[in-house]
């Protein structure tokens, strides 16, 4: 066995001592930081007891200007400050940005708890060009909320009508289910609620299908023989969300930011600027319906 000299032993002891001193110093520093943090937290807690935290208002300039979704939210708050007759809601859809993911369709069905066969915002696929130079484009098609709406003119009980802010709505309590408006709409934007369920015919009807919807700000449980069953249904720009200061669900869930919404009567709004684009078009303008949904092509 090799013997350890006194010099080597002293070196090892000094190394151990050095490591021990470093560990003690590190623990002491950590303890000091903890004490300082605890003291700062106590001061902050004492301050919070005497002073309430003020959150920035919705129109705060702290919201990033380069975020279109935040800009539309600010403009929505601005429009809601005006009387209803002084604002005109409009939607702009950029077909170059739409990727056909149908997230808007799914989100709309979830938000409005739509039953089988009822779709407010389908995404229509179209193939164009001549082989081999062909391509595909996507056309989200909500209700057009026409200024000169044919559906409101044919309703025999005035159940479908146009609000002062430009949104075409349906009064479920008045609707008799005649479906004249479905035939009159040139865009196919209306569907009929036949009272079906997704889990009907299975061992148990799922409870989520009986959950109430809040369209038009009304709490309506989905029960047989009660509205909106046996009524015509359509997109309403998520009116229940607008009245609470929220953008339509299809706008917030669009992954490509292809859908824009706002008050077109405000010349400084995003939708007003997009409507002035040379790329803008509207579906079936020759009919004179003057739809309030615009497309950028």
Q: Averaged in consecutive runs of 10 residues, what is the pLDDT profile of the chain (297 residues)?
A: 44 48 44 38 37 41 64 94 95 94 95 95 92 92 97 96 96 96 96 93 89 92 89 96 95 93 95 94 96 96
Smallest Cα–Cα separation from 110: which of 214, 203, 188, 189? 214
Tokens describing residue 61: 């300039």
pTM of the predicted model, to two decimals? Answer: 0.76
Contacts of 296 (CB under 8 A, 6+ apart): 92, 93, 94, 95, 96, 274, 277, 279, 280
State CA 288 to chain mean position distance: 30
Q: Which residue, among 152, 147, 76, 193, has the nearest Cα to 289 in the 3D structure? A: 147
From the list 109, 95, 146, the residue with the least C-alpha distance to 249 is: 109
């Amino acid at each position: 066995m090799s013997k350890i000299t006194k010099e080597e032993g002293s070196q090892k002891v000094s190394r151990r001592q050095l490591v021990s001193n470093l560990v003690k110093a590190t623990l002491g520093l950590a303890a000091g930081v903890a004490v300082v943090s605890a003291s700062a937290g106590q001061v902050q807690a004492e301050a919070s007891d005497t002073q309430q935290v003020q959150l920035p208002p919705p129109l705060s300039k702290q919201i990033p200007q380069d975020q279109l979704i935040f800009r539309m939210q600010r403009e929505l708050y601005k429009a809601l400050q005006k009387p209803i007759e002084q604002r005109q809601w409009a939607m702009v859809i950029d077909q170059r940005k739409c990727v056909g993911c149908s997230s808007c369709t799914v989100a709309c069905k979830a938000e409005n708890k739509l039953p089988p066969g009822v779709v407010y915002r389908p995404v229509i696929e179209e193939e164009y060009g001549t082989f081999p130079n062909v391509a595909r484009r996507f056309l989200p098609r909500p209700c057009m909320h026409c200024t000169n709406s044919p559906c409101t003119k044919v309703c025999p009980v005035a159940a479908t009508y146009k609000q002062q802010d430009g949104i075409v709505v349906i009064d479920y309590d008045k609707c008799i289910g005649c479906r004249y408006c479905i035939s009159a709409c040139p865009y196919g934007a209306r569907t009929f609620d036949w009272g079906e369920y997704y889990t009907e015919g299975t061992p148990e009807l799922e409870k989520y299908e009986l959950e109430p919807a809040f369209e038009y700000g009304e709490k309506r449980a989905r029960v047989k023989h009660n509205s909106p069953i046996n009524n015509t249904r359509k997109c309403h720009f998520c009116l229940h969300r607008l009245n609470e200061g929220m953008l339509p669900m299809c706008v917030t869930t669009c992954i490509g930011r292809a859908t824009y919404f706002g008050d077109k009567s405000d010349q400084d709004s995003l939708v007003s600027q997009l409507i002035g684009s040379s790329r803008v078009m509207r579906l079936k303008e020759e009919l004179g319906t003057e739809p309030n949904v615009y497309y950028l092509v």
